[in-house]
Structure 1
Amino acid sequence: MAMAAARPSMDVAVVLEREAQPNAWEDWRFRIAEVTRQQDAFGSEPRLLVDDGRIARWLFPALQVALFRDEGEGYYLNLTSGRPVWFVMWRVDDEDPSRASVQAVSLSYNEAGRWLDAQERVDNLPLPVDVTQWLTAYTDEHYRPEPKKRQRPASFVAPDARPGPAGMPEGKE
């Protein structure tokens, strides 16, 4: 039995920034400051990089971005958006709202949409050229958009063939 080829993936690190009292209505504001390729020096555990009392930055290393064939449409949508991006899902700590953590990183527009549908926080940052090329090569090899099918306007369909309220042609109930 032959072994399946390893799934294409890369390890990345995310820098999450927290701003203290950015305005009268917020105690804390978080934003994704950077997504970069993982380096050995980053280690594998999250750590505080800097905290001057107003701005704090945390590094969340060793996050894997893997490519899946069934996410091809999501990669295609990301690439054809005009500005391909990293999608970063993060959460504020339930017990300490001054802390947040990065949960996952994806390149799929559809996966980011599912996260948003689940009420998760998702930010994005532009992809560097080398990652865009990597994603493009994978998408070109594994995804073919379905051709669009033109639907005839209802006014051009015979009245007895038009769908009724339950999706059945009128008069055929």
Structure 2
Amino acid sequence: MSDEKPSLNSWPLWVRLERQITISRGWESENWRVAEVAMDPDANESFHRLWLQLYRDERVAYRFNLDSGSPRLFVVCEALETGWVPRKLTICQDVAADYMDGSQPVLSIPMPEAIMLWAERFIAGHGDLPDPSSHKRRMRQQKKAAEQGVNGNE
């Protein structure tokens, strides 16, 4: 058992991946999935300890993930000859996408409720940032309304 506890912006978690072999149209295919994310597992070599770290400048992305219909925890992996190894945890879809763009495997699982509540506390402690895309939408709506007002007065 670990004495390490989550702080306001970091949390030690243990991740266990599972290799699955499937057969499709006669061909074997190796797939990986997150088998378990534990807050404090029994001592077991199949778990990898990683720190989930939150950053103030990613709050908009955290909010987007939390407000989605299915918030996700992303596990960035490294593909080795012996299999996949988890290397990083994030709840930021933008960070996960950046790793995927760099051809690194990224797995995801539904975000555990305890992590959702912890992320909400982080955001509340630092304040929500306005979504920059909402400002652009508002500007487009105002421009459209102004154009309609001008066209409607002709």
- TM-score, normalisation: structure 2: 0.73
Distance in 2, matches of 1:74 and 1:101, equals 25
- 2:9 corresponds to which residue? 8
Task: Report the alpha carbon displacement of residue 39 of structure 1 after superposing the two structures with TM.
Answer: 3.7
Give the match's secondary structure for 1:131.
helix
Between stretches 33-42 and 74-83, larger displacement belongs to 33-42
- 2:87 corresponds to which residue? 103
Within the alignment, does 1:34 sit opposite 2:18 as a pair?
A: no
Alignment of structure 1 residues 53-72 onto 2, 5 Å:
59-72=46-59
For the 8 Å contact 2:76–2:107, the answer to whether it is kept is yes
- 1:144 corresponds to which residue? 129
Structure 1 regions of 5+ residues with no counterpart?
1-5, 48-58, 159-173
Identity %: 26
Larger RCO: 1 or 2 (CA < 8 Å, sep 6+): 2
- 1:121 corresponds to which residue? 105
- What is the count of residue pairs matched by the alignment? 134
Question: CA RMSD for the aligned pairs?
Answer: 2.6
Distance in 2, matches of 1:15 and 1:40, equals 12
Distance in 1, matches of 2:106 and 2:38, equals 17
- What amino acid sits opposite 1:113 in the alignment? A
Task: Report the alpha carbon displacement of residue 41 of structure 1 after superposing the two structures with TM.
Answer: 2.5
Task: Report the alpha carbon displacement of residue 27 of structure 1 after superposing the two structures with TM.
Answer: 4.2
Distance in 2, matches of 1:85 and 1:74, equals 12
Task: Report the alpha carbon displacement of residue 131 of structure 1 after superposing the two structures with TM.
Answer: 1.4
Distance in 2, matches of 1:125 and 1:77, equals 16
Distance in 1, matches of 2:55 and 2:40, equals 20
- TM-score, normalisation: structure 1: 0.66
- What amino acid sits opposite 2:118 in the alignment? W
Distance in 1, matches of 2:130 and 2:38, equals 29
**Which residue, out of 16, 23, 27, partners 1:25?**
27
For the 8 Å contact 1:19–1:28, the answer to whether it is kept is yes
- Flag the structure with higher helix content: 2
**Which residue, out of 84, 98, 119, partners 2:71?**
84
- Go from structure 1 to structure 2 and tell me whether the alpha carbon gap of 1:38 and 1:106 turns closer, same or farther (over 3 Å shift): farther
- 2:4 corresponds to which residue? none
Give the match's secondary structure for 1:71.
helix
Give the match's secondary structure for 1:72.
helix
- What amino acid sits opposite 1:66 in the alignment? Q
Q: Larger C-alpha radius of gyration, 1 or 2?
A: 1
Distance in 2, matches of 1:67 and 1:123, equals 18
Give the match's secondary structure for 2:106.
strand
